[in-house]
Amino acid sequence: MVTRHTIGYFKEQLATFLGNNPNTKIVRRKSRIIIQEPWEDRTISIRLYGKHVPQLIDALNSLVLPPRFSAIFHIDTNIAEFIWTALPNDEEIISRSFNFNFNESNYKCYYAEASAKLTILAKYTLRRVWYSPYGHRNILSLRQYFRDREEHSSREENLTPISFFVEGFNSYDETSLVELSKNLNFNMLYFDRESPSIDIHPLVLPPESGKNQFNTSTNLFLILSSASLKTLCFLICRLKQNGQTNE
């Protein structure tokens, strides 16, 4: 029998999570046990100490932390949840939703309050280094929001932590998620320029290579070049129709 609160204990309790996130490790830092490099990101870690660790374990065992995104993927419901920020309760974008057709599949996309799983994950996420090229996956700002709400409830009562959700996947597949996100970005660029784009982080080579496979930046060229031919053709036709209407 494995002794509680040892590395062996947490490996046993988080076996499903580790299987779904194979590059993530459980290690001891001084006297504390943590999950090292969630999202394969060295700038943050997840602590495995505190009174709500059992709930954290339950949440983690139903999640994939996709390295290419500031997001979590719920494997029990096949929903992608992109981590965003806390917004005023009367912000118009909170109520937005739309359907997106891609590769003969229909996806339901909407903004809503961050899930309970993301909430507990944010509360247990730690900063490892101050600078992060990926913005610490946006999760540290949520952690600060929850901390401020607990300490000064009146200050945060008019804010709600918001995520962007996409439903319609059959299972988790990083390649499919990347392709869908690229085309969603291009679609929102044309139809809804006020909506934020999805950050797609670069592939990172193993440490010994010392450099990235490629760099990405949120700009028009990358959004255009990453969209599928079918999406490009559709939007070009719409632009021509609009041009004829305005003549």
Q: Residue 212: inside a domain, yes or no?
A: yes
Residues 6+ apart with CB under 8 A from 54: none
Instruction: Please check the confidence at residue 93 and state whether its pLDDT lies above 90.
Output: no
Query: Is the residue at 120 inside a domain?
Result: yes
Residue indicated by tokens 């139903």: 62
Q: Please report whether residue 11 resides in a domain.
A: yes
Question: Is 206 part of a structural domain of the chain?
Answer: yes
Total structural domains in the chain? 1
The percentage of the chain sitting over the pLDDT mark of 70, rounded to a whole number, equals 78
* 2 domain residue, yes or no: no
User: Predicted confidence band at 24 (pLDDT cuts at 50, 70, 90)?
Assistant: very high
1 assigned to some structural domain = no
Least confident of 53-62, 164-173, 197-206: 197-206
The backbone torsions φ and ψ at residue 88, rounded to the nearest 5 degrees and listed phi first, read: -55, 145
**CA–CA distance from 65 to each of 6, 36, 192, 222 (Å)?**
23, 12, 27, 24
User: What does the pLDDT read at residue 157?
Assistant: 73
Around Cβ 177, how many Cβ atoms within 10 Å? 21
Tell me the residue type at 123. Answer: K
The predicted pLDDT at position 214 comes to: 34
Which tokens in the block code for residue 108?
């339901």
pLDDT tens for 193-247 read 777 889 999 876 434 333 333 333 333 433 444 444 444 454 455 545 555 444 4
What's the pLDDT score for residue 234? 47
Considering the domain boundaries, does residue 177 fall inside one?
Answer: yes
Which of 131-145, 161-175, 223-237 ranks highest by mean pLDDT? 161-175
The mean pLDDT of 8-37, rounded to a whole number, is: 95
- Domain of residue 91 covers 7-246
Query: Hey, what are 228's tokens?
Result: 């599928």
pLDDT at 155: 60
Name the 3-class secondary structure at 74. strand
Q: Are 96 and 111 in contact (CB under 8 A)?
A: yes
- Residue entry with tokens 């001891």: 28
Assess whether pLDDT exceeds 90 at residue 116.
yes
pLDDT at 161 over 90: yes
In a domain, 131, yes or no: yes
Higher pLDDT, 214 or 48: 48
